[in-house]
Amino acid sequence: MFVKDELEYYKKNRVKSNLIWQKAIKLLPGGISHTIRTFNLNLIGGFPILIESANGPYLKDIDGNKYLDCWNGHFAMILGHNHPVIQQAIKEQLLKGWHFGTLTESQIKLADTIIQDNPGIEMIRFCVTGTEATMYATRLARAYTRKRLIAKAKLGWHGASDCLYYSVGTLLNGQTSPGLLDSQKAGVLTFEINNDLIFDQIKQNKNNLAAIILEPILGGGGGFPVEIDFLKRLREETINHNILLIFDEVITGYRFTNSLYQNKLNVIPDLTTMGKIIGGGLPIGAIGGRKDIIERSSPLEDEQVIIGGGTFSGYPLSMVAGLKTLEVLKQSQHEYQRINKEGEKLLKNFNRYFIENKLPIKAVGHKSIIMLHVLKKWIENPTMRDIIEYTDKKREALLHLALFNRNISGLHGLGSISMAHKHEHILQIQDTVEEIGPPVSQTQF
């Protein structure tokens, strides 16, 4: 009954969206151009929201429904939507032109800002997406070390390139997307975070292992943090065996403070991939790190490693939006502290409520990143492996549907907190999740 009532209410208030969706599924594979943007609502007979505009912490769909947004453009919109300072910077650049296919001063300024903020970034190269950045990082690592293998964390999302799309969303071995080489032929090893077995893999493959890549917090992989001691030992072992360490900070970069997360961890990798926040909400990717490695991509090199070259690399609008965003963030330490504390408290309150009521939901994340995993059964202290094994996609879709019906937008269960969210918004999110948690958990499909 809960599913039926929620679906009826959802469809009643999104008539125009439904009509456009019917057209979308005839024109786009699955109706979308990014797999997760269905919010899995198709699994329970629904369809995704179609957004028309956004401002501050809110989205507005084409039917006029307004949502408190926790997805924040795949975590990119840390300042909230349509921030006036960023908007003005984009407008000023638009009047000058928006694509030249040349070097621009704003690109140099953004590079300089990122390098000044982060001791581990000695040189940087811009591209258009995080996928490109991680692809180029693995290529540089192989060229620099003259080794073949790359080790990546299971569940880790580094984009959908052929280099790293292995063990995404799973802790199992041997599952490979159609169209890809099997992991052995592709030269990819996989490992589980916070599990010492990786150190045996390092010793066994040290002569062939070019690099290890992982996110300090598994973003698309569920919000699971990597233990600091684990990261520190990885750093030690990679140095000892001449293996490069790559951090994917596309999500964590500038998320918790006005620099990369590695500085807080005091674990500095050889290479870092970046995106999202550093582009101010416009398309961007970047790879930075040790000068002797990054410089191998210079056209002045005798054996140049070919990376970049995309038509929109160093895109002027992204450069000015990113630069202005980082300028605002430099003046936002109080706001960082506020949303970090709000996130920590919300994460704690969620899990206390779920445990007290024995609801099969687990909140996972770090500071302003919060994801909700809806499970098939109640587990008192679920491990990461338990959470992945017992995730219930239909119940998670129902959670998203119920949130939309109560004017909250979230993905991966929820998402993140932006600086546009105020304390009353956090209370609204908590109250809403606690309201819908029991019926979502009790629903049988």
Amino acid 174: pLDDT: 61
Q: What is the mean pLDDT of the segment spanning 424-434?
A: 98
- In this structure, what are the phi and psi dihedrals at residue 415, rounded to the nearest 5 degrees? 135, -100
Which tens digits make up the pLDDT trace of 40-57? 999 999 999 999 999 999
Residue ranges of the domains in the chain? 2-64+333-442, 84-330
Give the containing element (helix H, strand E) for 150.
Answer: strand 149-153
Confidence (pLDDT) at 308:
79
pLDDT of residue 175 exceeding 80: no
Query: What are the beta bridge partners of residue 218?
Result: 224
**What angle, rounded to 10 degrees, do the helices at 197-205 and 228-240 form?**
10
CATH topology classification for 84-330:
Aspartate Aminotransferase; domain 2 (3.40.640)
Distance CA 81, CA 150 (A): 37
pLDDT, tens only, 114-156:
999 999 999 999 999 999 999 999 999 999 999 999 999 999 9
Number of Cβ atoms within 10 Å of the Cβ of 351: 14
Give CA–CA dist 440/165, Å, rounded: 32
Average pLDDT, the chain: 96
The C-alpha R_g of the chain, in whole angstroms, comes to 22
Tally the C-alpha atoms within 13 A of residue 101's C-alpha that lie toward its C-beta. 2
Asked: is 2-64+333-442 a CATH 3.60.9.10 domain? The reply is: no
**pLDDT digit string, tens, across residues 92-110:** 999 999 999 999 999 999 9
Instruction: Tell how strand 209-214 and strand 149-153 pair up.
Output: parallel
With a pLDDT cut of 90, the percent of the chain lying above it is 93
Given a cut of 70, whether residue 67 has pLDDT beyond it is yes
Q: At what angle do helices 2-12 and 15-27 cross, to 10 degrees?
A: 90
- Global pTM? 0.97
Tens-digit pLDDT profile for residues 180-224: 999 999 899 999 999 999 999 999 999 999 999 999 999 999 999
Supply the pLDDT for residue 177.
83
